[in-house]
């Protein structure tokens, strides 16, 4: 056992001396959590919205001003609808509002008219933008509708009643819509980083395990592993030592992301036993795959340049880049062929739903299966590589 520890301590020291590795292990995951987390965060303030006024009347300007004074959006003015549409498509603005020609005329006649909203419903700010625009449009529209309604009954001109309706509208509190999220109070209090922190934990644990595992190829080529064999320790001790070093490295990385997530980003990782088991099982899977790569590849550079894109692809399939709810069914099924999807399912149970150990039992069992296969393959390949 002492030999195992000595071999693994030595291995770890060598990896930790590499400053590039330090960047990928410590700096990059944190930066990514910040960048991606902030894109999913509330983002409610000052969403850029373009407005083009094709009507150019007092009424349309009034609506444009109402939009401008809305707190949720930040309005910029356009003169050409084509320019606005292009900017919406390239997402320079979150949405575009087109006030059509004849807008005021229709309003004054009490006829229904529509303001066109150019937006992608899947964009992050689509909902608050639509609410803000629809609210402002409806507020103006109902004044004119009410004026027309009353005017019709009294045989008057609607224009005469607009002022009365405006006055009444100021005194009337509109009906509110309260949106509540299910999943009790937990969801409401969750840090906005609650999805990105676990997904980056899974992503980087795997990517770095591949990169670190690939270093074995260089050790094999340079004879470091053969020198280990010259010691009086049996091959199994050396295999265990090398494996333990890589696993420790993965766990250090995991601990770092868990700690940074909890301390800096206020992520509640959920049930401690579940979180620890999930982390360790996935770390074993990652380390196993990394060791297989390192003991099979001809060169470290080759293994890394192939392994890292493959690992990123697996993370995409497994829901580390976006939640698997948003993808079509076949992609969701395909995603569960990689361990990432099971780990992400587990983290969602723990972090988003506040589930306990029981909630992640299935995921842990599947991951344990992945881990067993990966470890067996790693031991077999490593033995072969050491003794060949």
Partner 1 sequence: MLRGAALVAGLDLRRRVGDRSFLVTAVVGPVALALIISAAFSSIAGIDATIAVVDADRSGISSGFVGRITAGESGGDEGGDGVTFEGRASAEEAARAVDDGDVDAAIVVPAGFEASLSGGEAIALRVIADAERPIGGAIATAVAEGFADRVDAAALSVRTALAADEEAFDDVAHLTLAAQEVRSAAAVEDSGFSADFDAAAYFGPSMAILFLFLTVGAGARSLLAEQREGTLARLRSSPLPLAALLLGKAGAALVTGLVSLLVMWAVTQLVLGADWGDPVAVLALVVATVLAIAGIGALVTGLARTDAQAEGWTSVVTFTLALLGGNFVSPGALPGALRRLSLLTPNGWALRGFTELSAGHGGLADVVPALAVLLATAAVTGTAGVALLARRVA
Per CB under 8 A, which of residues 286..325 are in contact with partner 1? 299, 301-303, 305-306, 309-310, 312-313, 316-317, 321-323, 325
Shortest distance (Å) from residue 108 CB to partner 1: 9
Comparing CA positions, the residue from 307, 332, 328, 306 lying closest to residue 318 is 332
CA dist., res. 374 & res. 213, Å (int): 13
Q: Which of 144, 246 has the CB closer to partner 1?
A: 144
> Could you say which of 3, 26, 32, 264 contacts partner 1 (CB under 8 A)?
32
Chain center to CA of 40: 7
Q: Which of residues 320-379 bind partner 1 (CB under 8 A)?
A: 321-323, 325-328, 331, 352
> Could you say which of 115, 283, 351, 359 contacts partner 1 (CB under 8 A)?
115
Comparing CA positions, the residue from 282, 281, 277, 275 lying closest to residue 259 is 275
Comparing CA positions, the residue from 380, 338, 94, 383 lying closest to residue 235 is 383
Shortest distance (Å) from residue 96 CB to partner 1: 9
Q: Which of 144, 381 has the CB closer to partner 1?
A: 144
Q: Which of 205, 247 has the CB closer to partner 1?
A: 205
Q: Which of 46, 365 has the CB closer to partner 1?
A: 46
Q: Which of 205, 240 has the CB closer to partner 1?
A: 205
> Could you say which of 1, 17, 58, 177 contacts partner 1 (CB under 8 A)?
177
What is the 8-class DSSP label of residue 270? -
Comparing CA positions, the residue from 250, 263, 273 lying closest to residue 193 is 263
Q: Which of 107, 216 has the CB closer to partner 1?
A: 107
**23 in contact with partner 1 (CB under 8 A):** yes
Apex 32 CA angle, 335 and 87, nearest 5: 90
Shortest distance (Å) from residue 366 CB to partner 1: 21
Q: Which of 137, 374 has the CB closer to partner 1?
A: 137
**Strand 73-78 to 47-53 pairing:** parallel
Counting residues that bind partner 1 (by CB under 8 A) gives 107
Q: Which of 276, 308 has the CB closer to partner 1?
A: 308
Shortest distance (Å) from residue 16 CB to partner 1: 14
Tokens matching residue 54: 């094709």
Q: Which of residues 125-154 bind partner 1 (CB under 8 A)?
A: 125-127, 130-131, 133-135, 137-138, 140-150, 153-154
For CA atoms 291, 243, 342, 349, give the dihedral sign: negative
Residue labelled with tokens 């470890």: 375
Shortest distance (Å) from residue 54 CB to partner 1: 14
CA dist., res. 175 & res. 142, Å (int): 13
CA dist., res. 383 & res. 2, Å (int): 20
Q: Which of residues 44-103 bind partner 1 (CB under 8 A)?
A: 46, 48, 63, 86-92, 94, 103
> Could you say which of 15, 36, 250, 260 contacts partner 1 (CB under 8 A)?
36
For 123-141, give one letter per residue: b (16+ CB within 10 A) or e. Answer: eebbebbeebbeebbeebb
Shortest distance (Å) from residue 3 CB to partner 1: 30
> Could you say which of 14, 16, 38, 157 contacts partner 1 (CB under 8 A)?
38
- Which range of residues in 119-127, 231-239, 254-262, 366-374 is near partner 1 by CB under 8 A? 119-127
Q: Which of residues 195-224 bind partner 1 (CB under 8 A)?
A: none
What is the 8-class DSSP label of residue 23? I
Apex 343 CA angle, 340 and 349, nearest 5: 140
CA dist., res. 228 & res. 211, Å (int): 22
Q: Sheet of 47-53: strands edge to edge?
A: 73-78, 47-53, 95-99
């Amino acid at each position: 056992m002492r030999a195992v520890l000595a071999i693994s301590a030595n291995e770890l020291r060598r990896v930790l001396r590499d400053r590039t590795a330090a960047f990928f292990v410590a700096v990059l995951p944190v930066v990514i959590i910040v960048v991606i987390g902030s894109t999913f965060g509330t983002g409610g303030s000052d969403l850029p919205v373009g407005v083009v006024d094709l009507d150019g009347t007092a009424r349309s300007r009034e609506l444009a001003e109402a939009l401008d004074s809305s707190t949720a959006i930040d309005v910029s003015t356009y003169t050409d609808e084509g320019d606005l549409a292009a900017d919406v498509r390239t997402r320079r603005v979150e949405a575009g509002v087109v006030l059509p020609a004849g807008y005021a005329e229709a309003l004054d006649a009490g006829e229904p008219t529509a303001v066109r909203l150019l937006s992608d419903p899947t964009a992050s700010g689509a909902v608050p933008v639509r609410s803000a625009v629809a609210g402002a449009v409806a507020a103006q529209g109902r004044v004119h509708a009410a004026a027309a309604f009353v005017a019709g009954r009294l045989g008057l001109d609607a224009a005469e009643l607009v002022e009365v309706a405006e006055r009444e509208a100021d005194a009337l509190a509109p009906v509110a819509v309260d949106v509540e999220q299910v999943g009790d109070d937990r969801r409401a209090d969750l840090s906005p980083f609650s999805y990105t922190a676990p997904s980056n934990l899974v992503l980087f644990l795997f990517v770095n395990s591949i990169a670190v595992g690939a270093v074995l190829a260089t050790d094999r080529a340079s004879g470091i592993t053969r020198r280990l064999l010259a010691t009086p320790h049996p091959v199994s001790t050396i295999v265990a030592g090398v494996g333990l070093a890589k696993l420790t490295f993965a766990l250090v990385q995991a601990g770092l992301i868990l700690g940074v997530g909890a301390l800096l980003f206020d992520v509640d990782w959920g049930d401690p036993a579940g979180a620890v088991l999930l982390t360790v099982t996935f770390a074993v899977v990652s380390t196993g795959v990394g060791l297989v790569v390192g003991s099979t590849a001809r060169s470290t550079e080759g293994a890394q340049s192939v392994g890292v894109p493959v690992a990123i692809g697996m993370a995409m399939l497994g829901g580390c880049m976006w939640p698997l709810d948003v993808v079509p069914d076949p992609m969701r099924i395909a995603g569960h062929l990689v361990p990432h999807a099971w780990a992400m399912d587990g983290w969602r149970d723990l972090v988003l739903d506040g589930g306990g150990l029981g909630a992640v039992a299935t995921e842990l069992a599947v991951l344990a299966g992945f881990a067993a296969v990966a470890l067996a393959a790693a031991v077999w390949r490593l033995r072969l590589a050491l003794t060949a």
